[in-house]
Amino acid sequence: MKNKLYGSIEAGGTKFVCAVGNDKLQIIDEIQIKTTYPEETLEKVVNYFNQFYDALVAISIGSFGPIDNIKSSSRYGYITSTPKKRWQNTDVVGQLTKHFDLPIYFTTDVNASAYGEAVIRKEIKGLVYFTIGTGIGAGIIQNGMEWKLEQ
């Protein structure tokens, strides 16, 4: 049985932090990639994860936004009307699925952070995680589940 690794991307406005970890939540490897043009940045992301292709079982992405993270939407996986003009209407999940036949989970950066807190702090069944920076966001976990706003 192969060594299972999980890919993670923190897609930020200035840098993408890519990492692989194991099922014990241990980070095995990590890299930072400057956020430039979508084509350039995503090519470097693909190149990074290709090193681990045989062991990867899934990739998760916590992204700056706004994004479309509603799985039933035709634009699921897109960064939408972001103020970062080069990144408007970028199909992040679509670009990665061209290279990786794996489950890919896509959510906001704040939802990813909220979920991470809930995983580490198992006794907590609800929380709100706020970020205030270039934008303002909140990720919510209620009764152990990610809370999603439907549009």
**Residue-range domains of the chain with CATH:** 5-109 (3.30.420.40)
Quote the pLDDT of residue 135: 76
Of the pLDDT bands very low, low, confident and very high (cuts 50, 70, 90), residue 2 is low
Of the pLDDT bands very low, low, confident and very high (cuts 50, 70, 90), residue 7 is very high
Of the pLDDT bands very low, low, confident and very high (cuts 50, 70, 90), residue 57 is very high
Quote the pLDDT of residue 1: 46
pLDDT top residue among 151 and 22? 22
Quote the pLDDT of residue 151: 35
Query: Which alpha helices (DSSP H) does the chain contain, by range?
Result: 38-50, 92-97, 109-120
Question: What pLDDT digit, counting tens, does each position of 33-49 carry?
Answer: 999 999 999 999 999 99
Instruction: Tell me: pLDDT of 85 over 70.
Output: yes
Which helix or strand (DSSP H or E) is residue 129 part of? strand 127-132
pTM of the full structure? 0.89
Average pLDDT, the chain: 91
Quote the pLDDT of residue 20: 98
Token pair 């999603």 is at which residue?
A: 148
Q: SS3 string of the chain?
A: CCCCEEEEEEECCCEEEEEEECCCCCEEEEEEEECCCHHHHHHHHHHHHHCCCCCEEEEEEEECCCECCCCCCCCCCEECCCCCHHHCCEEHHHHHHCCCCCCEEEEEHHHHHHHHHHHHCCCCCCEEEEEECCCEEEEEEECCEECCCCC
Max distance between CA atoms of the chain, in angstroms, equals 45
Separation CA 31–CA 29 (nearest Å): 7
